Amino acid sequence: MIKSTFKLFQFLIVLSFLFLQNSLAEKVKEIEIIGNERIPKETIKTFSSIKKNDYIDDNKINDALRSLYESNFFTNIAIDFNNGKLIIRVIENPIIQNLKIEGVKAQKIRDQFFDNLELKQRGSFFEEKLKRDIQTIKNIGKDLGYYFIEVEAIQETLDSNKVNITFNIDLGEKAKIKKISFVGDKKFKDSKLRNVIVSEEYKFWKFISGKKFLNENLIKLDLRLLKNFYLNKGYYNVKINSSFAKIISKNEFELIFNINANQKIFFGDLSLSVPIDFKKDNFISLEKIFNDAKGKPYSINVIEKILNEIDSITITEQFESVKANVIEDVVSDKINLVFEIEDTQKLFVEKINIYGNNITNENVIRNQLLIDEGDPFNQILSKRSINNIKGLNFFKSVSSEIIEGSSPETRILNIEVEEKATGEISAGAGVGTNGGTVMFGIKENNYLGKGIAVNTNFTINTEALKGVFSVRNPNYNNTDKSAFFSFEATETDRLTNSGYKMNKIGLNFGTKFEYFDDLFFGISSSTALENIETNSTASARQKAQKGNYFDTFLGLDFDYDRRNQKFQTTRGFRSFYNLKLPLLSDTNTLTNFYTYKYFTELYEDNISTVSFYLKSVNSITNEDVKLSERAFVPSNRLRGFESGKVGPKDGDDFIGGNYVTTLNFSSTLPFLFENSQNTDFLIFMDIANIWGVDYDASLDSSNKIRSAIGIGVDYFTPVGPLNFSLTEVISKSDTDKTEGFRFNLGTTF
């Protein structure tokens, strides 16, 4: 009874409080807006969230003031409420008529400042934004090496509540890194550590590099690089205590890194723990990695290699909801590791959001995803999806985040991309013992944002001209099938030296799709019209091939792709076979082509490859294969030799062979300029043979091994990618034409 009376008493108190609150509120009978010039009255009413006939009190008026200020349209706001009339007085922020930057001549730097300003021309002016913009300009200037930058903002008041804003900027001289020092228990020589970091000491010959100037972002990167370097050398407890710049003279600094490497740690016991219902045999490949690592210095690269192998196994065995944890136990100078694989809660993908693709169609990006909305969520497939998007090479950057969905069992994947120029202009040249070759091409990799590749290129040398136009759609009509079309025209003029001339035009079209997991099947058709003319100096066999030809072929492709990723492949292989069958042909030429490439890592950060190539060209009706259908060694598989100037000859002409085979090795050299983000070095060895002359047994079939070794460099210059190779020929036929140097240069648009 007492409890019931007490509850009734509480209820009456609450009811009385609510009644009192309502009695203190007053009804709005009229709303008047004063002082607005550009902003419509209805917009101001909407921001205030107060409507006619609403009951308002002081709290609601304060909320209205806050909402109006947060709109950023007004510099001053006052609200009066009396006798049911609500008066909102506003003073609008000025409009910026002109926004200028003075004192900076370089357009690239001016653009960088403008792109990062909060204030915009024709936008509203805010004092707080002006202060932030001044600081932003200073920060960008320091990032560019202008540590002594000074910024003054001048406001010019105009009529009609408008202003002009001018930023007067004095960049000053760039802050040069005169010296880089490493102090503390560093274990390694300064010369070694300088090769680890990105920042460089100022030298007059480094006129291209911008890394010789003091840059806070580069210093932060240097700290991460140093820490990773020590972690990969066994220094598990390394401390990069601080980095600071000490001024030496007017615009010269000493960059100092304080390092405490601590004790070197070695791998002890490495073991695997899996759930009871998992078969340990599925993870047998990890035992070799464990045994190889034991006793060696601790390395985060080894940890990453083990985790990548676990990822690969879980995908192969279709374990959808697993995760791997690493349990560490440091005992003296040994670290024991247990890689614990455990079942996790089964999660599902609720939604995938894609942001930043203002050029590329969203379906182009979604076609690269290995998971879809409604699928079980898999962290590994999510990472591979992001890697696939990067592999498109359409974006400057690709990032992602995973957040909880509307329930604990769901996840939302947010993907952020930053568009970049996808057009390319390329040029190349090869210089050899018998003249040279010039190449030029224009390519758009993402035509109209649809992921369609459009390519035009020309190759010219002293005897031939070749042009190709091609279009490839990787996902035609959202069918998960690629479609392609190409048109080709070639003219080879050897009338003066060899007595014949060939003109050929043709088109090729087809499709390709995934038939089984990682096995792609392609079918295509190619048709060509060819004319061969000769004069009196041609050989009897060449004269016999004079005339017009019309040929149609059916192409079949089988592509088994087991690379770990298409973008920057580090391990795996790719096996490709092509069969070209004659449907309508005078010579009934059958072409077989096979290539295999294997990727592996021989040591940290290294990528090594071995590949071989086989091709045969023969007539199924024992006809003589036309000159234009004969096999030649691809120039990228036999560097050091001029393209098309290897193999059997008829007089002075290289006529190609009926058979071609190549074997190629390459290995990157990451320890050369290991932290140069723009340069890759590799060594290579190419071995090849080309032989067979079906139309004249008296000609030398040129069955001889050709080989060469060399070094290649890929360097990204300010105008585009530059790659070149220097080659030394080891073995060749006496008639082969060599080429010691080749380069290609491209740019984007």
Residues sharing a CB contact under 8 Å with residue 698, sequence separation 6 or more, in sequence order: none
Q: What is the DSSP string of 654-673?
A: E--BSEEEEEEEEEE-TTTT
Mean pLDDT across the chain: 83
* pLDDT single digits (tens) 670-706: 777 665 556 778 899 999 999 988 877 777 778 899 9
Name the region of 459 (left: φ>0; alpha: ψ -120 to 50; beta: rest).
Answer: beta
Q: What CA–CA distance (Å, rounded) separates 414 from 357?
A: 13
Name the least confident of 98-107, 427-436, 457-466, 669-678: 427-436
* pLDDT single digits (tens) 527-576: 999 898 888 877 777 777 788 889 999 999 999 998 877 766 788 899 99
Q: Is residue 695 part of a domain?
A: yes
Q: Is residue 6 part of a domain?
A: no
Three-class DSSP category at 422:
coil
Give the residue numbers spanning the domain of 151: 95-170
Q: List the CATH number of the domain containing 514.
A: 2.40.160.50
Name the least confident of 265-279, 304-318, 447-461, 473-487: 304-318
Q: List the CATH number of the domain containing 366.
A: 3.10.20.310
pTM: 0.59
- Does 718 have pLDDT greater than 60? no
The answer on 144 and 59 residing in a single domain is no
The answer on 295 and 222 residing in a single domain is no
The answer on 650 and 510 residing in a single domain is yes
The answer on 282 and 199 residing in a single domain is no
Three-class DSSP category at 199:
coil
Tokens linked to 645: 């100037």
Three-class DSSP category at 59:
helix
The answer on 601 and 456 residing in a single domain is yes
Q: What CA–CA distance (Å, rounded) separates 371 from 413?
A: 10
The answer to whether residues 281 and 313 touch, using CB atoms and an 8 Å cutoff, is: no
The answer on 138 and 44 residing in a single domain is no
- Does 642 have pLDDT greater than 80? yes
The size of the chain, in residues, is 749
The answer to whether residues 484 and 473 touch, using CB atoms and an 8 Å cutoff, is: yes
Boundary residue ending a domain (395, 414, 433): 414
Q: What CA–CA distance (Å, rounded) separates 148 from 174?
A: 8
Residue bearing the bigger pLDDT, 297 or 206: 297
Residue bearing the bigger pLDDT, 12 or 393: 393
Q: Calculate the CA 425 to chain-centre distance.
A: 18
Boundary residue ending a domain (32, 67, 92): 92
- Point out which residues pair with 430 in neighbouring strands: 437, 742
The answer to whether residues 200 and 209 touch, using CB atoms and an 8 Å cutoff, is: yes
Q: Is residue 7 part of a domain?
A: no
Tokens linked to 389: 């998007």
The answer on 357 and 335 residing in a single domain is no
Instruction: Give the model's pLDDT for residue 16.
Output: 46
Q: Is residue 13 part of a domain?
A: no
Q: Is residue 11 part of a domain?
A: no
Three-class DSSP category at 121:
coil
Q: Is residue 614 part of a domain?
A: yes
Tokens linked to 126: 């805010």
The answer on 271 and 128 residing in a single domain is no
The answer on 646 and 521 residing in a single domain is yes
Three-class DSSP category at 127:
helix
The answer on 673 and 541 residing in a single domain is yes
> Across residues 430-437, what is the average pLDDT?
52
The answer on 643 and 595 residing in a single domain is yes
The answer on 270 and 256 residing in a single domain is no
Boundary residue ending a domain (260, 285, 310): 260
Q: Is residue 9 part of a domain?
A: no
Tokens linked to 128: 């707080």
Q: Is residue 12 part of a domain?
A: no
The answer to whether residues 578 and 593 touch, using CB atoms and an 8 Å cutoff, is: yes
The answer to whether residues 498 and 653 touch, using CB atoms and an 8 Å cutoff, is: yes
Count of domains forming the chain: 6
Looking at the chain, the whole-number percentage of residues with pLDDT higher than 90 is 28
CB atoms within 10 A of CB 179: 15
Q: What is the DSSP string of 218-263?
A: HHHHHHHHHHHHHHTTT-TT-EEEEEEEEEEETTEEEEEEEEE---
